[in-house]
Amino acid sequence: MSIEKSPLRRKLDKLFVPLTVGPTLLWIAAIIVYPTAKLFLSSLQFRNPITNEMEFVGLRNFQRLIFAREGGDAALGVFSPSFVSITTNTVIYVGFSVSISFLLGLGIALLLDKDLKGRGWFRTAVIVPWILPYVMSGLMWRWMFQSDFGAINGALQRLGVISGNIPFLSDGALAMMALIIADVWVFTPFIIIILLAGLQNVPEQLYDAAEVDGASRWSRFWNVTYPFLKPSILVALTIRIIFDIRALDLVWVMTQGGPGKSTEVWASWLYRTAQVFNEPGTGAALGVVLLAVTFAIVASLYKLFGESPYEA
């Protein structure tokens, strides 16, 4: 027996979805859709230095960004030396930082997952680098790597490892190494937190069964821990890569992309182009490229780690 609804109740039922979902959709449109559309529109425009007005130029900003020569002309099929070198710097910076922090984070998470004395204190201590403001961390590491009175040079000299100061931030390769070390120090705690949360979902009975069967430690990790940890690994790597691709705080505070362009990455290049050189159109074009690359990397990660042990 069905109860007939009143006209008012039927109208309220029809409005239920728009009233509950509508504000969420508007909020998403306000913080994601509109800025993204604005970015694409800006990438197709160029600010006239004489009139200071934005003019529609189509894909010319992308052509200048990717193919422009040092002299200013653009030849399709010949990549800009700046684009190649800065892209290489970004790949090195993101690749080494993410890989090292992930391996360190995984090892520390596995260690903290065990029943160790003082485990709670260790869990609290490891998150300290991550909760500090990135600018503060960058300033701290810049001082530590300073050539003349930096803490690292001082410690190495006291230990007798070196006799003279090492120009960490004045040499291109050493400056990149310093950036990677600082980035690993800042973001490894984030990896630890995510993976440690994932380890709590692994049933202890599976470890006991694997141990009874005589499985080695590596076999227990690969066949028991890893399948349940895959969703956490996916989340950790996705957010970690996104953070590093758009990394500006540490790079700008520590090196500002120098010496030369040896530590210039996409994020600092975008800021320099749009704000320092006052070329918002070209900066927006670089933002579109950065956005497309980020989506491609995230899609690849989901394809690689998308399967979950919780799925039937």
pLDDT for 147: 85
Q: Residues 6 or more apart from 266 whose CB is under 8 A from it?
A: 86, 87, 90, 245, 286, 289, 290
What is the spatial distance between Cα 257 and Cα 261, in angstroms, rounded to a whole number? 6
Report yes or no: 229 and 308 within 8 Å, Cβ to Cβ: no
CA distances from 294 to 246, 289, 305 (A): 9, 9, 16
Enter the DSSP assignment of 214: T
What's the pLDDT score for residue 312?
Answer: 39
| 8 A C-beta contact, residue 284 and residue 61 | yes
What is the rounded distance in angstroms from the CA atom of residue 14 to the CA atom of residue 109?
A: 49
Q: Provide the pLDDT for residue 309.
A: 42
Rounded to the nearest angstrom, the gap between the alpha carbon of residue 78 and the centroid of all alpha carbons in its chain is: 29
DSSP-derived 3-state class of residue 46:
strand
Give me the pLDDT at residue 178, please: 94
Cα dist from 205 to 117, 202, 208, whole Å: 23, 9, 5
Dihedral Cα 190, 195, 201, 207, nearest 10 deg:
-150
Residue among 234, 233, 130 nearest 182 (CA):
130
Residue 203: what pLDDT? 81
**pLDDT mean by block of 10 residues, the chain; 312 residues:** 64 72 78 85 83 82 76 58 89 95 92 75 78 88 89 89 87 93 93 89 79 79 86 90 88 89 91 86 90 89 67 44
The confidence score (pLDDT) of residue 95 equals 94
* Confidence (pLDDT) at 114: 77
pLDDT value for 113: 81
46 forms beta bridges with 55
Residue 191 confidence (pLDDT): 93
Give CA–CA dist 87/66, Å, rounded: 10
What is the helix (H) or strand (E) element at residue 55, kind and residue range? strand 54-56
Contact 86, 269 (CB under 8 A): yes
